[in-house]
Structure 1
Amino acid sequence: MGRTDGDGPQGPVPQRSLVSLRAPTNPDSPRGELAKTIPRRPRLTWWLGLVFAAAFALLVTPTITADRWLGTLGAGQVVAGKPASMTVRVPAMSGFDTAVGRIGNGGIVIARGEVASADDAHHVSAVADATPHGTLPYVAFFLLTFVLAAICTHHMRRSTRGRLVRVQIVSLVAIVLVALAVKIMLLMTSLSVLVVPVAVLALVPTLALDRIVGLATGILAALAVALLGPFDVGVAILLLVQAAVAGLVVAEQPKDRMRAVLTAGAVTTLFTAATYVLLTYLTTGHAPVFHDPLHSAWFAAALGPAIATVLAIPLVPLYQLLVGEITRGKLIELEDLSNPLLRQIAEKAPGTWQHSLMMANMAEIAANAIGASGRLVRVGAYYHDLGKSLQPKYFIENLEPGETSPHDQLPPEVSCDAIFAHVTEGIVTARKAGLHERIVDFMHMHHGNGVLEYFWGKTKEQGNPHGLSVEQFRYPGHPPQSRETAILAICDAVEAASRTLKKPDAASIDSLVQRIVYGKLHLG
């Protein structure tokens, strides 16, 4: 008895249960009730990212323009002889010359709690007069932040197809919350915007997911924070350097997270501080590195990445929880071979268990080679064929030598349903046991929605007496949505197909691998 795409005969299951899955009284229905056991994920189009970008812009614009609508620049807000209720800074899109008066770093006109002088009141009035009024500033900030967020969400689509909505929402909401906190800090203190640890918004997504999400989130956060105070090109460059270096240096899903964060934090701190010194030297002709360092912008530029380093480690598990990513601790727990589900596979389907162990080793090596999560793909390989333990004799690896395959006495469409059941029933069993959805993904993505060619070909050889369509011989799953699920799908197909090679030499195996990989790519 041959096998197709990694699945072959499995042991006898009451035909009544198999027939009920297909509902043969309506042979034109695609996969019948079997397909209903796997919920369909919505196809996410480009416009959804635009919706999130617009929502982000609507939330961030009032934060950026808080100086205007809070009235900190209004007449009588700063009165000579009285302490200022809020820190007044030169807002972005202001025509006021920060070189006039005694405005220092951060565009501060007067700090909160500082007793105002007549000059202070005059400077506040001058800033207010030079600041554009009306709706134009709000529209301009909305359009700018909308475009930046749209670019960010577009790049996220390249790496987070399986959990795109949650990643986009969590990332954008995190930036909004950071922007709100920074704006409060700027209004209530005299701290420089450079102390803001924007690098944490690049470090955490990269550590938890991948570099694309980390860079997109970090760079958008840096630009948003740069707009919160007096817009300074030098400040914007420093914040962008902080976010970009952190996202580029830190490893994706590293095994030693602490070491990766400390290394990235140290490199980011050095790069940011060095960039500040260079920018200062290029614009002023001197580099005040040792002049009052505790109160200098140089110190603030170095402090931001240092704070981000401290915050990154505890925030990674929270971020993983919010975006639906499985945590390292959970993977270690599921990797334990004494897990009841793994024992069930080993005891009831020993052939399948040996296949799973082989897949785990092969897929982990491949994942590590391309920078994917080797541990995740290993655990996924352990559980991907859980459904075979429910009806083990329908799969050839679980048959004893000389044992007859039950498929020899079954119609092709019923055999097909028996094979499909290992996907659907495995998912049901896994979810009842509380298995994380990232592991369940491996169950319904390792075959995708490809056609079970062997039984479809057998049906055509018999003349297709029931008039079945090829769609009824497609796996009720989804194409892989991550690097890890794609790796396992390819390894599974290659391992199964390699058993059919008459001369398994290097050339034939290489040709087989290329044919399967390109075939999977063609299917999506």
Structure 2
Amino acid sequence: MINGLKLSLRHLPELGKYGLVLLTIVFISFLFPDSIRFKYEFEQGQTWRYSDLRAPFDFPIKKPEAEILAEQERIKADFSPYYSLDPEVARRQKRIFEEQFRAQLNEVQGTGQFNDVVRNARNYLQYGNQLLDRLYSQGIIRLAPQHQDKSKDFVINVVRGNSTQKQTVQNILDVEAARELITDSLPYSKLYEAEFLLPILPDLIFPNLTIDDSLTNRFLTESLEGIVTSSGMVRQGELIVSQGGAITDEVYQELLSFRDQYLQQVSGEQSYWVIFSGYFLLTSIIIGVFILYLRLYSAPIFQKYRQLIFLLLWMVAYSYLVYAVEKTEALSVYIIPFCIVPIVIKIFYTDRLAFFIHIVVILLASFLTSLGYEFTLLQILAGIVAIMSNPDARDWSKFFKSMVYIYLTYALTFLGLSLIQEGGLSSDDGYYYVWIFLNVFLTLLSYPLIPLLERVFGFTSSITLVELSDMNRPLLRELALKAPGTLQHSLQVANLSEAAADAIGADQLLVKVAALYHDVGKSLRPEFFIENQSGPNPHEGLPYLESASIIIDHV
């Protein structure tokens, strides 16, 4: 029992690594959409590369989106908005008129002015009320801002109580026209002193016919909802498209309609956890194959927690990045700099591992994005070019050239796909080239990331090795001052070891730097080492053991 417990404890570190892998798989699986993915991929104008497709159920053929939008715009353009007549405005203004009339009448009484008004005040008051009644019953309109540029024959629905009547705006007075009508009509009235009303009546004109947003929106919505969105019906068992057949405009619309109906029906029948299980299984296979590769061909990497975490973090980070961009309509997944992955991984490891983890990241991203196989093809090709065009992190000129190669790979591959799928370039393609330019620009962040990752994970890159090989480094300068003979010896060993490493395919820079620093311990007591001696050997007067101890201590 004790031996079994010890054996279990010895396997805890190994189980912890698999726990990290499982945690990564679960996290990424929760990022995937909760809906069924359509199993067919198709493009308008291409051939159907699957077997004959027959309708498994009845479904309507949806009209093209552009046709529906055009019909919606036509309905909006022809729609007559609703303007409601407010009777309270007339009542309020008539009360104000009577108050102002009596106040003005009191002012002129006893002055000898407007004697006819004083004698027949009732007639003047009645005339003013009738004039206001007539104007307000017809309606004094205030056009909504969105209707002010309409022509005079623009038709509106005038709502009076429970009745509605269509009228053109040219037959309805606005405030200015109503005031002019009062000013022009008063001199022709039967009143002897009609000018008495002139300071009062025009200022009492206010709009009582205004837009009724509630009614307008309700009836406009009903009109838009009444649009017929289908142009036909496909019956169960009917052939939609045959294998090798051309996907014409008509067939393409049928396929889109079938896809929408299929996803709607199947998604409704399946629970979230069934879909999650499918994504979890696929993610497990992809990452599981990667872990198997590490166990077989890069076992030292799998044995170290920090290196395993470093590799798994790339999968998690890019999966979440794709998920976040997909949620943002303003951005495209093509802006994400996937080529950072192989560039950085190659700096710390090998080309083969860089390519393998790049493939894993792209496969996971392909399930998260709504883009088709074109996305996977573009990213894999760009990753291959990124690996091949960055042979050494020490050469900045090659790094910037590789950015040009990556952009050309994206651009030319997309151009080829456009020619195949669309027979030429479309106006929307320009946006793609902007996205990939931003993508390549962001890829420049790969080099600033390297020092940060070195500090966080304790790695050593070729950039650091180049810095260490600088002869102006403090340790090498101290060695040159205290033990110049040792420095010359180290330089010779460095040159020889670099040539040997090149011959056998080893890391030349790492071997060279190791050789430069392999004897720095001699700077503590340089006179005891023969390459620094120009006179008597101090070892001759020392006991053998002490002499050997001094030599060993330099290591």
Note the alpha carbon deviations across 1:459-496, whole angstroms, 9 max, x for none: xxxxxxxxxxxxxxxxxxxxxxxxxxxxxxxxxxxxxx
Q: Is the Cα contact below 8 Å between 1:252 and 1:371 reproduced in 2?
A: no
Partner of 2:315: 175
Q: Is the Cα contact below 8 Å between 2:342 and 2:357 reproduced in 1?
A: yes
Note the alpha carbon deviations across 1:155-186, whole angstroms, 9 max, x for none: 56757948954343223213312221221111
Q: Is the Cα contact below 8 Å between 2:37 and 2:263 reproduced in 1?
A: no
Q: Is the Cα contact below 8 Å between 2:347 and 2:462 reproduced in 1?
A: no
How many Å separate the matches in 2 of 1:354 and 1:274?
52
Name which structure has the greater RCO, CA cutoff 8 Å, separation 6+.
1
For 1:59, give the aligned amino acid. Answer: F
Q: Is the Cα contact below 8 Å between 1:394 and 1:406 reproduced in 2?
A: no
2:390 aligned with 1:422: no
Alignment length (residue pairs)? 338
Partner of 1:247: 387
How many Å separate the matches in 1 of 2:541 and 2:288?
53
Note the alpha carbon deviations across 1:426-457, whole angstroms, 9 max, x for none: xxxxxxxxxxxxxxxxxxxxxxxxxxxxxxxx
Note the alpha carbon deviations across 1:256-307, whole angstroms, 9 max, x for none: 22x223322222232333333444555x4x44335432245xx378447524
2:365 aligned with 1:225: yes
How many Å separate the matches in 1 of 2:536 and 2:11?
46
For 2:354, give the aligned amino acid. Answer: G
How far did residue 365 of structure 1 move?
3.9
How far did residue 189 of structure 1 move?
0.9
For 1:53, give the aligned amino acid. Answer: V
Quick one: structure 1 residues 337 and 379, their matched pair in 2 at CA, closer, same or farther if it must change by over 3 Å? same
Quick one: structure 1 residues 98 and 193, their matched pair in 2 at CA, closer, same or farther if it must change by over 3 Å? farther
2:343 aligned with 1:203: yes
Give the one of 514, 517, 528 matched to 1:380: 514
**3-state DSSP of counterpart to 1:251:** coil
Partner of 1:256: 395
Quick one: structure 1 residues 338 and 194, their matched pair in 2 at CA, closer, same or farther if it must change by over 3 Å? closer
Quick one: structure 1 residues 398 and 102, their matched pair in 2 at CA, closer, same or farther if it must change by over 3 Å? farther
Calculate the aligned-residue CA RMSD, in Å: 4.5
2:342 aligned with 1:342: no
How many Å separate the matches in 2 of 1:140 and 1:419?
65
For 2:383, give the aligned amino acid. Answer: A
Identity over aligned residues, as a percent?
25
How far did residue 369 of structure 1 move?
6.2
For 1:386, give the aligned amino acid. Answer: V
Note the alpha carbon deviations across 1:123-152, whole angstroms, 9 max, x for none: 978634333434343333233323333444
For 1:384, give the aligned amino acid. Answer: H
Q: Is the Cα contact below 8 Å between 1:96 and 1:127 reproduced in 2?
A: no
Q: Is the Cα contact below 8 Å between 1:159 and 1:210 reproduced in 2?
A: no
Quick one: structure 1 residues 388 and 160, their matched pair in 2 at CA, closer, same or farther if it must change by over 3 Å? farther
Q: Is the Cα contact below 8 Å between 1:156 and 1:212 reproduced in 2?
A: no
How many Å separate the matches in 1 of 2:352 and 2:541?
47
Partner of 1:84: none
How far did residue 243 of structure 1 move?
1.9
For 2:337, give the aligned amino acid. Answer: P
Q: Is the Cα contact below 8 Å between 1:58 and 1:142 reproduced in 2?
A: yes
Q: Is the Cα contact below 8 Å between 2:527 and 2:538 reproduced in 1?
A: no
Quick one: structure 1 residues 96 and 393, their matched pair in 2 at CA, closer, same or farther if it must change by over 3 Å? same
How far did residue 244 of structure 1 move?
2.4
2:432 aligned with 1:292: no
Quick one: structure 1 residues 43 and 381, their matched pair in 2 at CA, closer, same or farther if it must change by over 3 Å? farther
**3-state DSSP of counterpart to 1:135:** helix
Partner of 2:37: 93
How many Å separate the matches in 2 of 1:377 and 1:134?
55
Partner of 2:452: 318
Give the one of 54, 57, 60 matched to 2:22: 54
Partner of 2:489: 355
How far did residue 224 of structure 1 move?
1.5
Q: Is the Cα contact below 8 Å between 2:41 and 2:372 reproduced in 1?
A: no
How many Å separate the matches in 2 of 1:144 and 1:136?
13
How many Å separate the matches in 2 of 1:305 and 1:43?
43
**3-state DSSP of counterpart to 2:425:** coil
For 1:335-484, list aligned pairs within 5 A: 335-367=469-501, 374-392=508-526, 397=531, 403=537, 405=539, 409-410=543-544, 421-423=553-555
How many Å separate the matches in 2 of 1:142 and 1:399?
69
How many Å separate the matches in 1 of 2:284 and 2:304?
18
Q: Is the Cα contact below 8 Å between 1:238 and 1:301 reproduced in 2?
A: no
How many Å separate the matches in 1 of 2:64 and 2:541?
84
Which one has the bigger strand percentage?
Answer: 2
How many Å separate the matches in 2 of 1:50 and 1:171?
14
Note the alpha carbon deviations across 1:192-234, whole angstroms, 9 max, x for none: 4334321121223324554234323322221111110247333
Q: Is the Cα contact below 8 Å between 2:478 and 2:523 reproduced in 1?
A: yes
**3-state DSSP of counterpart to 1:144:** helix
Give the one of 388, 408, 413 matched to 1:275: 413
How many Å separate the matches in 2 of 1:267 and 1:92?
37
For 1:56, give the aligned amino acid. Answer: T
Q: Is the Cα contact below 8 Å between 1:57 and 1:143 reproduced in 2?
A: no
**3-state DSSP of counterpart to 2:337:** coil
For 2:37, give the aligned amino acid. Answer: M
**3-state DSSP of counterpart to 2:412:** helix
Quick one: structure 1 residues 364 and 245, their matched pair in 2 at CA, closer, same or farther if it must change by over 3 Å? same
Quick one: structure 1 residues 396 and 152, their matched pair in 2 at CA, closer, same or farther if it must change by over 3 Å? farther
How far did residue 103 of structure 1 move?
9.6
**3-state DSSP of counterpart to 1:177:** helix
How many Å separate the matches in 1 of 2:425 and 2:496?
52
- TM (norm. structure 2) is 0.49
How far did residue 394 of structure 1 move?
6.4
How far did residue 348 of structure 1 move?
4.5
How many Å separate the matches in 2 of 1:399 and 1:262?
49
For 1:256, give the aligned amino acid. Answer: D
